[in-house]
């Protein structure tokens, strides 16, 4: 479902977001600073459930890409879906950290892998799933 109630977002700014997700996931997995998962959880909640345009990091990255002349505007629906997945994964990581459990490594590894794919190639797996889901569900 395309989102026309929210202005388009810059896909290259989301590549910067993927870089941040990659860094935070690596911090979560390889350092004792697992509280960093709060960044993924809160950012995903704000961008995915409210609006990407309300998020300071998105606004910073969008202005950087605009100044570099690399803005590429896309519909916000698929990117917000990806942020919802990041919010769920980040929340699971935070809960795992608070419980002193290790199950948070599963979503952290998934975010690490998929964010690396996004930042290195521009392929957003969640965006692809989003588009596929709505093509399959179309009445016809």
In 3D space, the residue among 62, 68, 47, 56 whose CA is nearest the CA of residue 15 turns out to be 62
Domain ranges of the chain: 9-137
Asked whether the predicted pLDDT for residue 3 surpasses 90, the reply is no
pLDDT digits (tens, 9 = 90+) for 41-60: 999 999 999 999 999 999 99
Average pLDDT (30-35) is: 98
Nearest to 66 by CA among 3, 133, 9: 9
Q: Global pTM? A: 0.93
Average pLDDT for residues 54-80, to the nearest whole number? 96
In tens, the pLDDT along 89-123 reads: 999 999 999 999 999 999 999 999 999 999 999 99
């Amino acid at each position: 479902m395309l989102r026309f109630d929210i202005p388009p977002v810059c896909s290259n700014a989301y590549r910067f977001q993927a870089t941040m997700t990659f860094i935070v996931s690596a911090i979560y997995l390889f350092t004792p600073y697992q509280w960093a998962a709060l960044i993924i959880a809160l950012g995903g909640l704000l961008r995915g459930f409210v609006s990407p345009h309300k998020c300071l990091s998105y606004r910073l990255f969008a202005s950087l890409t605009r100044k570099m002349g690399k803005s590429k505007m896309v519909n916000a629906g698929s990117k917000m879906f990806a942020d919802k997945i990041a919010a769920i994964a980040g929340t699971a990581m935070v809960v795992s950290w608070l419980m002193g459990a290790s199950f948070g490594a599963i979503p952290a590894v998934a975010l690490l892998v998929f964010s690396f794919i996004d930042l290195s190639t521009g392929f957003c797996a969640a965006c692809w799933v989003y588009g596929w889901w709505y093509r399959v569900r179309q009445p016809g």
